[in-house]
Structure 1
Amino acid sequence: MKNKFQLPDVIRIHFNAANTDNPATFISTFGDNAVVIDAGNKYHEKTPIKEWSEETYFKDHLRLKITNVVKDIKGIVVTAIATGDFDKTGIPDPLFLDFHFIIIESKISLLHIVMSSNSKGIILPTPIATYYHACDIYDVSLLEECFKENAVLHDEDTDYHGPIEISNHILNANRDANVTLEITDCTNQNNVIVVAAILSGNFEGSPLPMDFHFSLDEGKIKFFKIIPNTGDK
């Protein structure tokens, strides 16, 4: 599989093996103690991962076309369009998936697969891209790393202070409302990065256009507010 993106060899081999129905090479890309998280299920070590891949990848002749690659604070996130013989009932078409990789000693240590919140491949500053990646996979430690120690979040007339309080609020709110998100735009407005997105979930008004206003300092988020996008200019 040829693509324009620069990938570590092990990830390039991983996708090539998937796209050429090569399960032996596919499983060789994982470390002995690797973990895969897919559709809320966790597979630990090679035998369960092999069984998962045979059922999920190779039985359905999964094909993955890479559309974007981002290196965040913790790992590498590859976005790809997934096609194949799997049941497509109730899922988006096309189906964009994010593959969150952590590589240790040239082997995949962790692979976490979720539906992509940035299927358009909109370029985001690294701490903001990491923010959305962490929200997608509910990784509280990764989310905390996005924020400065004195960071402030303003959301629904309430201020939250510091990485721990902010991260817990965001992930708890997302989990309670089963939030999914689609990023639609990113602009720089007087050194404030504004990310437009559509939020869907179990809340009144869903789906709802929202704007995320980020102020950055020394490569981390210092101030952050979430407001409805009313369409007013």
Structure 2
Amino acid sequence: MINNIIQLPQPVEKHFHAINTDDPATFLSTFAEDAVVFDAGKEYHGKTAIKEWSDHDYFEARLRLKITNVVQNAKEIVVTAKADGNYDKTGLPDPLYLDFHFTVDGDKITCLRNVLSSNSRAVPLPQPIATYYHASDIFDEDLLASCFAEDAILVDVGKEFLGPEVISKFILKANRDAACKTEITNCMEENDQMVVTATISGNFNGSPLPLDFHFTLNNGKIKALNIVLAGQ
């Protein structure tokens, strides 16, 4: 099974239902009084600011969101959704996929961060692999380490890295140094591995570069990851 089903927390489920049914009152009720939203490089603190933002960017634009993937960890729940509506689409990918990073406390959303999704083709991914790419996108070292088994091994360009913390530090440093961006294009099962093909672009020779990520999974964790040129 490629992608596990995760039950959305009630406020997150209400959040998407309210958007898709043009219900701004219910939408606003899902947020805590001191909630904060990060969207398109701007911050909105408190329900008054969130209402002004959502009235314009969501409800006037008749935004519609179709959920394609969900990742959950101890800190947050990340929902990938295909977006459409009457907003300005200039310079945006078509179709547009967004990652909605929710922090929830009880029955209220305390923080929401919206970013463009690296999984822009809505490729179904197993949960630990989806979490791997989300953590890499947002440079979350702890979350990335949590994807790996304690005895995990990473092989990248012939070099070996052992253990979750070592692997996480190496991946995020490499991504930061090269300002890497990832576009996932395919995922398939092959010889008891999940092989994710992605195009990596950034400040390095050969960019953009198609790579195959060979994941070996065990008990919901990444046991091994071998990164090679696509097709090798």
Which bin holds the TM-score, normalised by the shorter protein? 0.7 to 0.9
RMSD: 2.6
Counterpart in the other structure of 1:132: 133
Contact 1:35 1:45 in 2 (8 A): yes
Q: What's the counterpart of residue 198 of structure 1?
A: 199
Deviation per residue, 1:106-144 (Å, 9 max, x gap): 221332212122233333222111111212222222112
1:33–1:161: structure 2 CA closer, same or farther, 3 Å change rule?
farther
Rounded Cα–Cα distance in structure 1 between residues aligned with 2:94 and 2:81: 13
Question: Residue in 2 aligned with 1:181?
Answer: 182
**Contact 2:186/2:196, CA 8 A, preserved across alignment:** yes
Counterpart CA distance in 1 for 2:213 and 2:128 is 13
Q: Are the counterparts in 1 of residues 97 and 122 from structure 2 also a CA contact under 8 Å?
A: no
Hey, what does 1:17 align to over in structure 2?
A: 18
Aligned equivalent of 1:122? 123
1:30 correspondence with 2:31 = yes
Gaps of 5+ in 2: 1-5
* DSSP-derived class of the 2:222 partner: strand
Q: Take 1:77 and 1:194, find their aligned partners in 2: how far apart are those partners? A: 22
Distance in 1, Cα, partners of 2:170 & 2:45: 29
| Matched position secondary structure for 2:93 | coil
Structure 1 residue runs of 4 or more that deviate by more than 4 Å after TM superposition: none
Scaled by the length of structure 2, the TM-score of the pair is 0.83
Query: Structure 1 residues 9 and 72 mapped into 2: Cα distance closer, same or farther (>3 Å)?
Result: closer
Offset, 1:29: 0.8
TM-score where L is the length of structure 1:
0.82
Match of 2:114 in 1: 113
The equivalent of 1:63 in structure 2 is 63
Determine the C-alpha separation between the residues in 1 that align with 2:208 and 2:8. Answer: 35
Deviations 1:7-38 (A, max 9, x none): 44322321233344443322211123433232
Q: Structure 1 residues 42 and 159 mapped into 2: Cα distance closer, same or farther (>3 Å)?
A: farther
CA–CA distance in structure 1, aligned partners of residues 42 and 166 of structure 2 = 27
Instruction: Tell me the distance in 2 between the aligned counterparts of 1:141 and 1:47.
Output: 33
Q: Which moved more, 1:178-187 or 1:70-79?
A: 70-79
Aligned residues: 226
Q: 1:144 to 1:96 in 2, by over 3 A?
A: same
Taking the aligned partners of 2:213 and 2:65, their CA distance within structure 1 comes to: 29
Decide whether aligned partners of structure 1 residues 48 and 121 sit closer, same or farther in structure 2, where only a CA change above 3 A counts. Answer: same
**Counterpart for residue 46 of structure 1:** 47
Alignment CA distance shift 1:47-1:199 (3 Å)? same
User: How far 1:85 sits from its partner (Å)?
Assistant: 3.9
1:131 is paired with a residue whose SS is: helix
Cα drift, residue 69 of structure 1: 3.2
User: Closer, same or farther in 2 for the Cα pair 1:178/1:86, shift >3 Å?
Assistant: farther
- CA separation of 1:6/1:73 partners in 2, compared to 1, >3 Å: closer, same or farther? closer
Q: Offset at 1:198?
A: 1.7
Q: String of CA shifts for 1:34-56, please: whole Å, max 9, x gaps.
A: 33232344444434433433453
1: CA distance, partners of 2:189 / 2:214 = 10
> For structure 1, which segment, 48-57 or 116-125, has the greater mean C-alpha deviation from structure 2 after superposition?
48-57
Following superposition, the deviation at residue 100 of structure 1 comes to 2.3
